[in-house]
Each structure stands twice: as structure tokens, then as C-alpha cells.
Amino acid sequence: MSRKAKILRKTKETNISVEVNLDGKGKYQIKTKIGFLDHMLEQLSKHSLIDMKVIAKGDTHIDLHHTTEDSGIAIGEAIKKAAGNLKGIRRFSSITIPMDETLTRVSMDISNRPYLIWKVDLKVEKLGEMDTELFKEWFQAFSQAAGITLHIENLYGDNSHHKIESCFKALARSLREALQIDKRIKNILPSTKGKI
């Protein structure tokens, strides 16, 4: 079963195309015209082993909000579409990632009940050209579009770059684990309800 998907999201504010292969090797082509966001999405692809192509054009002359949020929506939609009927997936994961002085935990349930818990405090207003408040917007948009219950907690740390990068890396490893097919339940939905 091929777990690949393409999504085109076009609005008056953004034009975003996303291609994903959930069973890839972490190859990426990322062009959002937002340097720090590109760096984070490269981390997401590399450490999840999801091949990812993201090409985004947005109204960045206004600010970076629309491109950031819509890229989260489009990537979430692509991953949800590629995951298909969810039969055989492990569904749950909880990963803790260190990055120098920082430690971050991401826990998820691929439940089709999107929810975000965000416990990340940042000391600076910007990372690169990005307003740091935009990171919560990206994770919110992603969790809603992907149908994932997502808990993100920075347990401790000082450097804001390290905090955010560890969030994306922990998301990547959590996705890698939760989307993995468990051979023992290869054709079975991981729910007592019979539906996710």
C-alpha cells in the first residue's frame, strides 16, 4: 500500500503545494520563503523519514502569519490523506528530545480528534524573521488538519532556537513512531470503536 499524497491549498493569501511519502527516507525540498520555517520543516522531514516537498508562496509583504499557518494546514492535510484508513498504525507515541540545554516532549494520538496542548515559553519575540507566536499557530493548524491530538511541552531550556527546533524534531520522531505499521495488526484499526 502506497502512503503518498499531494495537496494544493490555494487562497487569496497563499498558494501552497505539498507532497509527502510517509514511508520515505526523509528527503525534502522546502521553499516557503521564510528561512527559519524552512529550517524547521527540513528537520520535520529528516527526522520523521517522511519525504516532503513543500512549495509556498504567500503574502509575506504583509507578514508571515498566513504562510506559516497555511503551511501547517497543508502539511497536516497531506499526512492525513497519505495515512489513509489508518489500519495497522501504532497510533500513539510519546518522544522526548534533548537539544543541548533543552528538553522537549511531544505526545500524540492519531485519533481524528484534533487538539493542541502547547506548553512552550519563549524569551524572544523573533527567531530569524519569524514572530515566535507563529509557532503555536503552525502546530495548531497542523494538529487540526491532520486530526491529531498533540501535546507539546518544553520541559526546560534557555535558548529559544533550541526550544523550537526540539519541538519540531520531537514532532518528527513522534510521527515516525505513531504512523509506523505494526505487523501484528497490519489490517486492523487500532480502536475498540471500530472507527477513528
What are 141-172's pLDDT values in tens digits?
A: 999 999 999 999 999 999 999 999 999 999 99
Question: So where are the chain's domains?
Answer: 4-185
Residue 63 predicted with pLDDT over 80: yes
Largest CA-CA distance found in the chain, in angstroms, rounded: 51
pTM above 0.85, yes or no: yes
**What would the grid cell of residue 193 be?**
470503536
Helix (H) or strand (E) holding 1: none
Residue 194: per-residue pLDDT: 87
Q: How far apart are CA 30 and CA 41, in angstroms?
A: 7
Average pLDDT score over residue span 95-107: 98
Range 4-185 has CATH code 3.30.230.40: yes
